[in-house]
């Protein structure tokens, strides 16, 4: 219930308005995590990415290591590609002044496969200057593949061959998404058309 109320408040006020004030309010790391997951719960990639430093380093078992703009593109692609999304934060914990974790679960329907996905993860975040500078999500790639790829994923998702194949597929999808975004940007001043 607390999660739903928080998401409703964020939706009413607008995450970007809230994020704008984050840096002046002296928020705790836990409050930044809560704001990040509130934005994620609303599939607001702009609000999520606003909490990252420009030099963000991100990793997870599916996409691998990403940096900077790749991270922003990953979240935009993810948020655009899921439907019927429900997110629950299970537990947040501040480890020290620099690190905090968040255990969470989500369910959604993949727009690509139309399959219902149930997902549990633990996020590890490092903070500096009121921003997230490192973010790592831990989850079972085997379980995710089994759900996302159906019978093929159930039978072969545990194999290294299948895992590498899926990782390469998602890395290519992210690269193609990023390239498409760059092609849609207007030319910078002083460049030829």
The burial of 58, by beta-carbon neighbours within 10 Å (0-12 exposed, 13-18 middle, 19 or more buried), is given as: buried
Asked whether residue 119 is assigned to any structural domain, the reply reads yes
Asked whether residue 154 is assigned to any structural domain, the reply reads yes
Asked whether residue 5 is assigned to any structural domain, the reply reads no
Low-confidence stretches of the chain (pLDDT < 50) are 1-13, 17-24, 188-193
Task: Say which CATH number the domain at 86 has.
Answer: 3.10.450.50
Asked whether residue 112 is assigned to any structural domain, the reply reads yes
- In whole angstroms, give the CA distance from residue 119 to residue 159: 20
| pLDDT score, position 117 | 92
3 state DSSP class of 43 = coil
| pLDDT score, position 140 | 96
| pLDDT score, position 25 | 62
| pLDDT score, position 182 | 80
The model carries a pTM of 0.80
Asked whether residue 39 is assigned to any structural domain, the reply reads no
**By residue range, what is the domain housing residue 170?**
53-183
Asked whether residue 24 is assigned to any structural domain, the reply reads no
| pLDDT score, position 181 | 84
Between the alpha carbon of residue 70 and those of residues 79, 82, 177, the distances in Å are 14, 19, 10
| Chain centre distance of CA 58 | 9
Total number of domains constituting the chain: 1
- In whole angstroms, give the CA distance from residue 36 to residue 101: 12
């Amino acid at each position: 219930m607390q999660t739903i109320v928080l998401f409703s408040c964020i939706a009413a006020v607008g995450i970007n308005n809230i994020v704008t004030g984050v840096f002046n309010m002296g928020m705790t790391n836990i409050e930044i995590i809560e704001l990040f997951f509130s934005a994620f719960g609303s599939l607001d990639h702009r609000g999520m990415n606003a909490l990252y430093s420009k030099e963000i380093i991100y990793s997870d078992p599916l996409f691998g290591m990403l940096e900077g703009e790749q991270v922003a593109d990953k979240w935009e692609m993810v948020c655009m590609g899921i439907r019927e999304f429900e997110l629950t934060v299970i537990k947040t914990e501040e480890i020290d002044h620099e690190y905090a974790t968040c255990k969470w679960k989500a369910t959604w329907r993949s727009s690509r496969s139309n399959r219902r996905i149930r997902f549990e993860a633990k996020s590890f975040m490092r903070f500096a200057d009121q921003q997230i500078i490192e973010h790592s999500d831990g989850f079972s790639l085997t379980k995710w593949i089994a759900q996302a790829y159906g019978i093929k994923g159930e039978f072969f998702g545990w194999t290294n061959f299948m895992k590498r194949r899926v990782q390469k597929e998602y890395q290519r999808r992210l690269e193609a998404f990023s390239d498409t975004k760059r092609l849609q940007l207007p030319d910078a001043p002083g460049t030829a058309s």
